Structure 1
Amino acid sequence: LFAEGAFNSAFVPLFAKRFEGDGAPAAHALAVEVFSVLLAWLVVFCAAAMVAMPWLMVVLAPGFSSDPAKFDLAVELTQISFPYLLFMSLTALQSGVLNSLNRFTAAAAAPILLNIVMIASNVVAWALGTGNTPATGHIFAWGIFAAGVAQFALLTIACRRAGMPLVPKFPRLTPGVRRVIALSVPGMISGGIMQINLVIATMIATTIDRAVSYLYYAERLYQLPLGVIGVAIGVVLLPDLSRKLRAGDGAAALHSQNRAMELSLFLTIPAAVALMAIAAPILHTVFEHGAFTRADTLAIAPTVLAFAAGLPAFSMTKVFQPGFYAREDTATPMRFAIISVVVNIAASLVLSRWFGHVGIAMATSIAAWVNAGLLGVTLSRRGYYVMDERLQNRLPRIVLSGLAMGALLLVGTRLLSGNYMEGAGFIAALWALLLLVAGGILSYFLLAHATGAMRLSELRSMLKR
């Protein structure tokens, strides 16, 4: 909830308000005050959690209790990697400061360090020949810890260069900090709803054989477009809305939200369709090696489809929520998030009986649509959001272009099916996948341009912003 930036749903609007109203020094003072209190709280929380991890693991992974070796290893690896939460939570706050100043590069680059460290950990494990042993888990756990330190260091340098060095002082509950805390508790629940639902999904999945692994692999695929598109748009939109509402320019704020929704759906709808159309080729090419078998691919592919169905809803939520946060209303999204969690639990318990791990993914997507629907309807009723004529005209064309692209991908998958037969080899599968991805991207943009869903010049302009 902290590390994914949900805390910033409360902090960014207040920081932007202080910056616009009282100037940079006052905003910097607020940032330092919040940073100091957050650091103190995180140190205590992380230390307590690491000590209590054996008991927490019983709750987080109840299905592991029947296997003492697996349970003990899970506890140990979680204790090693848990400080990552501290560094990433502080990094999220630093990102909020930088984003409010329209400095997005460093915050966007930070996750790349995690990927680099994970790749390096994989290379180390391969070089040492640890294979499928606990030693490999230790390598990756320490890698996660190191990645957290590296990301924090990068953002620390970026904040200093931006004139906003966050040097901790003795923590004090100043009025500004109290206001951030008051808004952040409901904000973290609503902003972190995706993480909450995924934790619930994992907990239920521990009772089903191999379900945790299946859900993990499926999540890796749909999290990529969500992180690149939905989260990125939400990060940029929140400080923008906060500044415009602070200036009393409601029309400009509404325009920004409509353009954010347009870009979000323009990118997530085809991403969802593509994941549905070529889930099996992606899984085969990326994961089907070593202990990962064809049976695993066939088991995970429907899970990817179920998660992909909720991708537009997840992205819409990232556009709707800033409409509340920028007005310092974190309670309303929290209430809807709680409803979403209840729906997720109920649907997971029911659907998992019929569809196993796929039912859990279906429940997650259903909960996402419930949350997005409640947020959108409430914003509309309050007069905070109205879909403008441009978006109304373009949305059906976006859907049409996405579906047409999906049909072409299905045809392409059938034509290239020989490249995914057992024994065809990795190079053949990779070549076919690259051809499908490139063909899908090219066909979608051409279709979108032809139907008027989005002109290429408009897309370039929006992406730059």
Structure 2
Amino acid sequence: MSSSSSLKSSLPNTPKGVKGLLASSLIVASMTMLSRILGLARDVVIATLFGAGSQADAFFVAFKIPNFLRRLFAEGAFNQAFVPVLAEISEQDNQQLLKLMISKVAGSLLLVLTIITVIAVVAAPVLALVFAPGFAGDSDKLGLTADMLRITFPYLLLISMTGFFGSLLNYSKRFAIPALTPVLLNLSLIAAALWVAPQMTVPVMALAWGVLAAGILQLALQLPFVAQLGLLVRPRVGFSDARVKQVMKLMLPALFGVSVAQINLLLDTVLASLLQSGSVSWLYYSDRLMELPLGVFGIAIATVILPGLSQRHASKSPQAFSNTLDWALRMVILIGVPAAIALGLLAEPLIATLFHYGAMGDRDVLFSAASLRAYAFGLLFFMLIKVLAPGYFARHDIKTPVRIGIWAMASNMLLNLLLVWQFAHVGLAMATSLSALLNAALLGIGLYRKKIWQPQSGWLVFSLRVLISNIALIGVIYITFEPAQTWLMWGMWQRIEQLAIVVVLGALAYSCGLFLSGLRPKHIQGPK
């Protein structure tokens, strides 16, 4: 096949041959599930070797800063701004124009990231103090954080370029490789913790080098697949180009509109650094468990619908646009509600089974479980934000989600101050969940009032099916539930066995509830 024909086939302009949204979501979810499972294995290793002490706190801050900016910049704002512009150009069926735009966006992005990275590496001590002001009283902890930040921050450049190439693959309906790429981060950190750390004077520094190595590997994995599409072009700086300006114009305000939840989580880390030692780690471990369903399903659905929404807007198909959003909302509720219930009711068993080994003590398990329960309350709202925000960005409406995002972030700051002194790190988690509720509600109401999203028939029946099935799930959890102290006394294999029983029985109860109430695969297949 020629490069020209390959490129043309990689940019779908018509629905012909395009898989249903459910099938595409399952591809992304399955790849992401593998990554998240390895991510949990990674965190088990880190918890066992480093626990929730000062060194773990230092690493989590040094890793969270570039990782936060990656989510904000590459996966969040950039992706939401770049894909709609890509959809417009692909509608013109001009391959030369498309390649030129990709080249100039890539070059401009690379230059900006290089400048940011150099500044951050030089100013690492200042960044460490800004994002973890509570470390100021511990010079060793602050210095360790700054040293690791110099190593981890270039990860932002590497993974952002990975995200850029991943957006090309996602738009071309090649979802598997971008979804699989995070596996390399988890494998790299596991290898660093198990084999490199014992060889180092300061063992935790091995984790920082593992992050940097992962960035290189992740970028290298994407390139051959982008080349197969004929889209691997030489980067060129092009800030004066109209399309680059359009992407930048959409991206800058989108930093707030799509990534408010991530900003709020980072604020949690900043305030947690002011609390007792271990607070940063407790929030980290609970956030990691909350990220499992959010990443596997919420982000998978959002990844799949964004190209479709952008194409439907470009081709002026408002009903198809609305139907895609409606399907996404149903899928989020179908998965998000039982996931939130399970995380909330099984907080201690989950934390104990995964992390209660080595340096991770009983107290760490109980404190992490408490913040997990608070995050679980907001899980559904985090997932809704992921699928509602693209409804605006695909239409080039930046102002509305930015305005809503600012309100949500302001409410999070206020709630943090109100709750942190009474409930410590748990208050920070609850404040984030409540602000996510506000964010999701305002996004949904806005789409409904503008008639961008018009609910299809069957919502009442669908809601009753989900309600009945979740009641069955709750019943199974309570029947098989054991007190937290029992889980702490059990050994690893006893915990794993009991948790597996609860999870399998709960999943069966929920699935049977859906089936007996009349839900069938055809009801959730999604638009073609």
**Shared fold (TM-score greater than 0.5)?**
yes
Structure 1 segment 359-370 matched on structure 2, within 5 A: 359-370=427-438
Of 2-11 and 154-163, the range deviating more from structure 2: 2-11
CA contact (8 A) 1:269 1:399 kept: no
Instruction: Give the drift of 1:261.
Output: 1.0
What is the aligned partner in structure 2 of residue 434 from structure 1?
Answer: 500
1:327-378 per-residue CA deviation (whole Å, 9 max, x = no partner) reads: 1112211111111111111101111111111110000000001000111111
Distance 1:254 1:187 in 2: 22
Offset at residue 197 of structure 1 (A)? 0.7
Moved more, 70-79 or 193-202: 193-202
Which residue does 1:69 correspond to in 2? Answer: 140
Cα drift, residue 395 of structure 1: 2.4
- Separation of aligned partners in 2, 1:352 and 1:5: 28
Q: Verify: 1:105 aligned to 2:176, yes or no.
A: yes
Which one-letter code corresponds to 2:75 in the other structure? E
Q: C-alpha distance in 2, partners of 1:366/1:417?
A: 26
What letter matches 1:455 in structure 2? Answer: R
Structure 1 counterpart of 2:153: 82
Larger CA deviation: 51-60 vs 398-407: 398-407
Matched, 1:48 2:116: no
In structure 2, which of residues 514, 520, 523 is the aligned counterpart of residue 448 of structure 1?
Answer: 514
Structure 2 CA distance for aligned equivalents of residues 311 and 31 of structure 1: 35
2:188 is matched with which residue: 117, 124, 135? 117
1:414-456 CA-to-partner distances (Å, cap 9, x unmatched) read 3x8796251x31111111111111122121111111123x324
CA contact (8 A) 1:258 1:391 kept: no
Whole-angstrom distance in 1 between the partners of 2:343 and 2:212: 31
Out of 61, 85, 89, the residue aligned to residue 18 of structure 1 is 89
Match of 2:377 in 1: 309
**Aligned counterparts of 2:485 and 2:265: Cα–Cα separation in 1:** 35
Q: After superposition, what is the alpha-carbon deviation per residue over 1:129-182, rounded to whole angstroms, capped at 9, x for unaligned?
A: 76xxx7222111111111111111111111111221142124442011011101
Secondary structure of 2:174 counterpart: coil
Distance 1:271 1:205 in 2: 26
Maintained 8 Å contact 1:262/1:395: no
Q: CA deviation at 1:4?
A: 2.8
* Segment drifting more, 15-24 vs 372-381: 15-24
1:397 aligned residue: 465
Q: How many residues align?
A: 456
Residue 204 (1) aligns with residue 275 (2)? no
User: CA 1:113 to 1:421, structure 2 compared with 1: closer, same or farther past 3 Å?
Assistant: closer
Match of 1:136 in 2: 203
Q: 2:222 aligns with which of 155, 173, 198?
A: 155
Native 8 Å contact 2:323 2:453 kept in 1: no
Letter in 1 for 2:501: L
**Is the contact made by 2:107 and 2:236 (CA closer than 8 Å) also made in structure 1?**
yes
Q: Is it true that 1:33 corresponds to 2:33 in the alignment? A: no
TM-score (norm 1): 0.94
**Distance of 1:69 and 1:418 partners within structure 2:** 35
> What is the CA deviation profile of residues 97-134 of structure 1, one whole-angstrom value per residue up to 9, with x for unaligned ones?
111111111111111111211222222157x276xxx7
Which fold has the larger relative contact order, with Cα–Cα distance below 8 Å and residues 6 or more apart in sequence?
2
1:277 Cα offset (Å): 1.3
What is the CA distance between 1:24 and its match in structure 2? 3.4
**Preserved CA contact (<8 Å) 2:384 2:440:** yes
**Would the aligned equivalents of 2:326 and 2:456 in 1 still touch at CA under 8 Å?**
yes
Of 381-390 and 74-83, the range deviating more from structure 2: 381-390
| Aligned-partner Cα distance in 1 for 2:484–2:362 | 14
Cα distance in 2 for partners of 1:180, 1:384 equals 23
Distance 1:381 1:140, change over 3 A: same
Q: Which runs of no fewer than 5 residues in structure 1 stay unpaired?
A: none
Structure 1 residues 125 and 430 mapped into 2: Cα distance closer, same or farther (>3 Å)?
farther
Alignment correspondent of 1:189: 256
Q: 1:457 Cα shift?
A: 5.6
- Separation of aligned partners in 1, 2:450 and 2:389: 14
For 1:227 and 1:403, how far apart are their aligned partners in 2? 25
Distance 1:418 1:372, change over 3 A: closer
Q: In the alignment, which of 329, 334, 339 is matched to residue 261 of structure 1?
A: 329
TM-score by length of 2: 0.83
Contact persistence 2:348–2:484 (CA under 8 A) = no
In structure 2, the gaps of 5 or more residues are 1-71
Q: Secondary structure at the match of 2:454?
A: coil
399-408 or 292-301: bigger deviation: 399-408
Alignment partners' CA distance in 1, 2:237 and 2:313 = 33
Which deviates the most, 200-209 or 439-448? 439-448
Q: CA deviation at 1:199?
A: 0.9
Cα contact 1:273–1:403 (8 A) shared by 2: no
Report the CA distance shift for 1:23/1:392 in structure 2 as closer, same or farther (over 3 A).
farther
Rounded to whole Å, the distance in 1 between the matches of 2:267 and 2:335 is 28
Match of 1:449, as an amino acid?
F
- 1:418 and 1:288 mapped to 2: Cα distance? 12
Contact 1:5–1:89 at 8 Å: present in 2 too? Answer: no
Contact 1:10/1:330, CA 8 A, preserved across alignment: no
**Paired AA for residue 371 in structure 1:** N
Q: Does 1:214 align with 2:282?
A: yes
Residues 75-102 of structure 1 show CA distances to partners (whole Å, capped at 9, x for unaligned) of: 0101101010001111111111111111
Q: CA deviation at 1:406?
A: 2.3
Matches within 5 A, 1:270-285: 270-285=338-353
CA contact (8 A) 2:239 2:245 kept: no
Distance in 2 (CA, whole Å) between partners of 1:88 and 1:301 is: 30
Whether contact under 8 Å (1:43, 1:86) holds in the other structure is yes
1:413/1:379 CA distance change after superposition, 3 Å: same
- Asked whether the 8 Å contact 1:445–1:456 carries over to 2, the reply is no
1:289-335 CA-to-partner distances (Å, cap 9, x unmatched) read: 11211121111212111101111101111111111111111221111
Matches of 1:310 and 1:170, distance apart in 2: 41
Question: Comparing 241-250 with 37-46, which one deviates more in the overlay?
Answer: 241-250
What residue identity is the alignment partner of 1:326? A
Q: Are the counterparts in 2 of residues 9 and 188 from structure 1 also a CA contact under 8 Å?
A: no
CA distance in 2, matches of 1:388, 1:146: 47
